[in-house]
Amino acid sequence: MDIFQKCNQFTRADEAREAGLYPYFIPLSNNEGTEALIGDHRLIMIGSNNYLGLTVHPKVRKAAEEAIAKYGTSCTGSRFLNGTLEMHLELERKLADWVGKEAAVVFSTGYQVNVGTISALIGRHDFVITDKEDHASIIDGCKMSFGTMKRFSHNDLDALGRVLAALPEEAGKLVVVDGIFSMGGDIAPLEEMIPICQKYGARLMVDDAHSVGVLGGGRGTAAELGVTEGVDLIMGTFSKSFASLGGFIAGDADIIDYIQHHARSLIFSASIPPANTAAAMAALEVMQEEPERIARLNEIGAFMRRRYTELGFDIGQSQTPIIPIIIKDDGKTLKFWKALFDAGVYTNAVVPPAVPPNMSLLRTSYIASHTDEQLEKVLATFEQVGKALDVI
């Protein structure tokens, strides 16, 4: 069979395009934080992970510009060889201190952090245990390792215990969960997971991609729940609250040293460019200097969760500024997305396989700099479209 045959038979995207309901790969003419331009069509952005609005912060922009002026546009080498700058090490020290760990190492993307860390730690006779709603990068890291992946039902502590109890006592075990789950907006119950992991000799890694800058005063899920010491590894990304590109893993110094000498996605990739490094460092400083941004973000999240619920929308178990509008019908989800888009509200349509069958949803997420007026317009538009499509 021709390897390209599957490509020629892929028609799902074409069908959506022909119906005018294709919601992906839309080119933005401009992105101004809480608003975006697509051509001359202006939309309120509630589909971004720019949680603190720092992509347009003067300090973050200036730091990126100054880094380019000093270092150029790229390091043109891996961290392992010629691609480590002094500013990389400075950022790592600051990040480790911020999340309450001894050390950290910075990768070029958040995806590479999970792929590299998990595949470095999990050997042939080891087990990696994941929540069924973990991010794709975690799953890919498990697949790239030589160990065995086991899964447990979403946030189900009894299921986690059963999986761990069934594994060989002498085997190495790593439990990996999202801090905030990126589609549902709910939080992993770390304070209850930690004693289960300790009972069965498993280490715990938390993907805080959506949590750093959002929970725990910006320090993440473990800080929010008061269990930083019980979490062995904390992962974060720069492409969300940090308004940049890249990511990090933090933990005990000897564990981080091992990871940076064995993570293939770190060793065989060019290092994070100077501008992105400087932007992430400046974003961290803004989080520390302007805690009111984090407070405002969470106030907005609580307000929108309450208002969506009052309107009759199903928001699942959301506890954060990530709020799914669960519709459960693929076609209706795409129609809802298009009606919102035409009315000037940009959100994200999520259909299987990104979510389980019959769980299609609109993923909404909020920015600390959203105004009350923008939020009220969003709610009014959702109410109008929801009634028209018989969702509420």
Considering the domain architecture, whether residues 84 and 219 belong to the same structural domain is answered as yes
For 169, residues 6+ apart whose C-beta sits below 8 A from its C-beta are 200, 201
Taking residues 234-256, what's their average pLDDT? Answer: 98
Are residues 323 and 250 part of one domain? no
pLDDT, tens only, 9-28: 888 888 889 999 999 999 99
pLDDT band at residue 72 under the 50/70/90 scheme: very high
Over residues 34-56, mean pLDDT: 96
- Give the domain range for residue 161: 57-289
**Rounded-to-integer distance, Cα 45 and Cα 175, Å:** 34
Same domain, 167 and 314: no
Query: What is the rounded (10 degree) CA torsion for 227, 228, 234, 236?
Result: 90
H/E element, 96? helix 86-99
User: Do 78 and 191 have their domain in common?
Assistant: yes
The token duo for 74 is 């790229």
pLDDT score, position 243: 96
Residues 159, 38, single domain; the answer is no
Residues 15 and 26 in one domain: yes
Best CA proximity match to 134, nearest among 81, 72, 177: 177
Residue 321 included in any domain: yes
Counting the structural domains of the chain, the total is 2
Q: What sign has the CA pseudo-torsion 330, 334, 337, 339?
A: negative
Which pair of structure tokens corresponds to residue 339? Answer: 């009606």
51 domain residue, yes or no: no
Question: Mean pLDDT across the stretch 140-165?
Answer: 97
Domain termination site, one of 265, 289, 313: 289
- 106, part of any domain: yes
Which pLDDT belongs to residue 235? 98
Sign of the alpha-carbon dihedral angle for 41, 47, 48, 53: positive
What does the DSSP assignment read for 163-202?
HHHTS-TTS-EEEEEESB-TTT--B--HHHHHHHHHHTT-
Amino acid in the structure at residue 273: P
Q: Look at residues 289, 309, 330 and tell me which one is the last residue of a structural domain.
A: 289
Say which DSSP state 312 is in: T
Task: Please give the Cα distance from 75 to 55 (Å, whole number).
Answer: 22
Both 262 and 303 in a single domain?
no
- Grade residue 358 by pLDDT with cuts at 50, 70 and 90: confident
Same-domain check for residues 278 and 303? no
Q: If we measure between CA atoms, which residue out of 278, 265, 279 comes closest to residue 80?
A: 265
Same-domain check for residues 131 and 144: yes
pLDDT per residue over 181-209, tens digit each?
999 999 999 999 999 999 999 999 999 99
CATH code of the domain covering residue 228: 3.40.640.10
**Angle (CA) 314 319 325, round 5°:** 25
> Does residue 125 sit in helix, strand or coil?
coil
Q: Which two three-digit tokens encode residue 57?
A: 């912060």
CATH of the domain at 329: 3.90.1150.10
* Among 289, 306, 326, residue at a domain's last position: 289
Question: How far from the centroid of its chain's Cα atoms is residue 316's Cα?
Answer: 18
Same domain as 206, residue 103: yes
Residues 6+ apart with CB under 8 A from 137: 110, 111, 113, 114, 115, 207
Contact 182, 147 (CB under 8 A): no
pLDDT one-digit tens code per residue, 92-132:
999 999 999 999 999 999 999 999 999 999 999 999 999 99
User: What's the pLDDT score for residue 356?
Assistant: 86
